[in-house]
A and B are shown apart, each in its own frame.
Chain A
Amino acid sequence: MYNGGKIILGLIVFIGLMAAPFIFGLGKGNAKPNPSIDTPAIKAMEKKQCVEAKAVMKTEHMKMLNDWRDSVVRDGKRLYVATDGKKYDMSLQNTCMKCHSNKAQFCDKCHIYVGAKPYCWDCHIAPKEGA
């Protein structure tokens, strides 16, 4: 081999980089982030139901919040009619956070897990917790 040392070194670096996620992942459990819905407002609900179905909220909540913001800020329309016909006030702080008052235990759980940094709290006042 010509320049064998350098080639082997390059290959070791390559394999090391490729194996890195596996090395970091080794021995770690596959813990699922468990957003808590254990808040007084949700406990008091008879039927625990968000604005839309859970599966929809999981994948579409960011789009819904964005649409709500556009509707409220640009058109001044605050009324949201859900698929089941229920009416809601389009408001992050007064509707969403009324039930999900536990930002650290709910929102942040998944957002931190997947590295998402939504900019809700650039404008809104983040709830004070632990009180």
Chain B
Amino acid sequence: MGMYVAFLAVAGLIVLAFLGVQAAGLHFLFGALIPYIAFFLFVIGFAYRVFLWGTSAVPFRIPTTAGQMQSFPWVKSNKFDNPSNGFGVVIRMALEVLLFRSLFRNTKSEIHDGRLIHGSDKWLWLFGLMFHYSFLIIFIRHFRLFLENVPGFILIIESLDGFFQAGVPFVYLTDLMLVAAATFLFARRVLLPQIRYISMAADYFPLFLILGIAISGILMRYFIRVDITGAKQVIIGLVSFQPAPSAEVGVIFYIHLFLVSTLLAYFPFSKLMHFGGVFLSPTRNLANNSRMVRHVNPWNPDVHVHTYAEYEDEFRDKMKKVGIPVEKE
């Protein structure tokens, strides 16, 4: 059900952009206003979300322990999977953010010959990594259209991405990998009954949206080509605050732009915030030093305690009178 809702939503967005630009000629709306609003929502929404998370209380250390904790010097500890200091945390976070360390530990349980077998399952990790890195490279590559003078490193990334020089313009490896990986992520939600059961519209929508963005981009580059110089001019117009969306650039460009705008505007309200959230996960970014440092909850109420020593001081005479033993005579 959720899948169909999400699919119809993305299809509707594409139709909306097509009709809006092609039939109604609303180039300024789709080529300037909506992108500006979407970008504003993205940056402010993202920052606000992270700020809200930042204000949550983190009084205690709650890291997930994925290795031997540091204790006695003769017990070998795992410095990165169960870090006890800041340096270990930095390494752990780097492994998590850059290499998806915790997903690498993904396991799968199956019944073979009547026995329950637990095994490693790296496919999600592999395609997840492929998806995110392809997306990152595609994102960086796009800056050739956002900066008037294209920096050399972007050209290097681009030439590596088109390394095989197949077709004209060169086919980017990341284009293929992004579509392949997103298709995998989608297929797994449809084909695995357990995953399908827990998948909702909010899981399918970003996948369809990103697939839509990728496919519209691929169409624009290889099949329904647009005048790239004109496209860059529209984009430079946006970043220099002199928007001049041109009707000469094909409608596929505006569909692509509208889908990207939707992604940006949707981002802060969605699961995609794991981009910011991964850095603020207390189960990853805290050092496991609970046995070395005493963490006191700062909002503990000031409880008045009556210790045994005080009690005895108060009642010593009476206790002696009835023959109850006391610690201090």
A113 touches B232 (CB 8 A): yes
Interface membership of A44, Cβ < 8 A = no
A32 touches B233 (CB 8 A): yes
B225 touches A59 (CB 8 A): yes
Of the stretches A17-25, A71-79, A80-88, A91-99, the one at the interface is: A17-25
Interface set, chain B 24-57, CB cutoff 8 A to A = 39, 42-43, 46-47, 50-51, 53-57
In the assembled complex, which residues on chain A have CB atoms less than 8 Å from the CB atom of B150? 112, 114-115
Q: How far is the CB of B104 from chain A (nearest CB, A)?
A: 24
Interface membership of A66, Cβ < 8 A = yes
In the assembled complex, which residues on chain B have CB atoms less than 8 Å from the CB atom of A30? 233, 236-237, 240, 242, 244
In the assembled complex, which residues on chain A have CB atoms less than 8 Å from the CB atom of B280? 7
| Known A2-B58, A7-B50, A11-B51: A33·B148 in contact at CB below 8 Å | no
Of the candidates B57, B159, B169, B242, the one whose C-beta lies within 8 Å of that of A2 is B57
Q: Number of A-B pairs whose CB atoms are under 8 Å?
A: 103
In the assembled complex, which residues on chain B have CB atoms less than 8 Å from the CB atom of A89? none
In the assembled complex, which residues on chain B have CB atoms less than 8 Å from the CB atom of A27? 240
A63 to B228, CA, bound (A): 14
Q: How far is the CB of A71 from chain B (nearest CB, A)?
A: 14
| Known A11-B51, A14-B47, A32-B233: A25·B228 in contact at CB below 8 Å | no
The proximity string for B residues 131-157 relative to A, scoring 1 for CB distances below 8 Å and 0 otherwise, is 000000000000111111010001100
In the assembled complex, which residues on chain A have CB atoms less than 8 Å from the CB atom of B244? 30
CB-nearest residue of chain A to B168: A66
A116 touches B43 (CB 8 A): no
A62 to B244, CA, bound (A): 26
Interface size class of A (residues with CB under 8 A): 35 or more
Q: How far is the CB of B93 from chain A (nearest CB, A)?
A: 11
Interface membership of A117, Cβ < 8 A = yes
Interface membership of B165, Cβ < 8 A = yes
Interface membership of B158, Cβ < 8 A = yes
| Known A15-B43, A66-B168: A25·B50 in contact at CB below 8 Å | no
Q: How far is the CB of B31 from chain A (nearest CB, A)?
A: 13
A9 to B166, CA, bound (A): 43
Q: How far is the CB of B28 from chain A (nearest CB, A)?
A: 15
In the assembled complex, which residues on chain B have CB atoms less than 8 Å from the CB atom of A116? 169, 228
Of the candidates A11, A25, A117, the one whose C-beta lies within 8 Å of that of B239 is A25
Interface membership of B107, Cβ < 8 A = no
In the assembled complex, which residues on chain B have CB atoms less than 8 Å from the CB atom of A14? 43, 46-47, 50, 276
B51 touches A114 (CB 8 A): no
Interface membership of A37, Cβ < 8 A = no
A32 to B240, CA, bound (A): 13
A18 to B50, CA, bound (A): 15
Q: How far is the CB of B114 from chain A (nearest CB, A)?
A: 50
Interface membership of A26, Cβ < 8 A = yes
Q: How far is the CB of B257 from chain A (nearest CB, A)?
A: 15
Interface centre among B43, B57, B168, B279 (most CB of A within 10 A): B168
A3 to B154, CA, bound (A): 34
Interface membership of A10, Cβ < 8 A = yes
| Known A4-B54, A7-B51, A25-B240: A119·B148 in contact at CB below 8 Å | no
CB-nearest residue of chain B to A23: B239
Interface membership of B226, Cβ < 8 A = yes
In the assembled complex, which residues on chain B have CB atoms less than 8 Å from the CB atom of A60? 225
Q: How far is the CB of B253 from chain A (nearest CB, A)?
A: 11
Interface membership of B312, Cβ < 8 A = no
27 contacts between A and B (CB under 8 A): A3-B54, A7-B51, A7-B53, A10-B50, A11-B47, A11-B50, A15-B43, A15-B47, A19-B43, A21-B147, A24-B239, A25-B147, A25-B148, A25-B240, A26-B241, A27-B240, A30-B233, A30-B237, A30-B240, A58-B227, A62-B168, A65-B168, A110-B229, A114-B228, A114-B229, A116-B169, A119-B165
Q: Which 7 A-B pairs have the closest CB atoms?
A: A25-B239, A115-B144, A115-B150, A25-B240, A66-B168, A7-B54, A59-B225
- A residues sitting closer than 8 Å to B (CB atoms) are 1-4, 7-8, 10-11, 14-15, 18-19, 21-22, 24-33, 55, 58-60, 62-63, 65-66, 110, 112-117, 119
Give 4 A-B pairs besides A1-B54, A112-B150 with Cβ atoms closer than 8 angstroms.
Answer: A3-B54, A7-B50, A10-B279, A25-B147
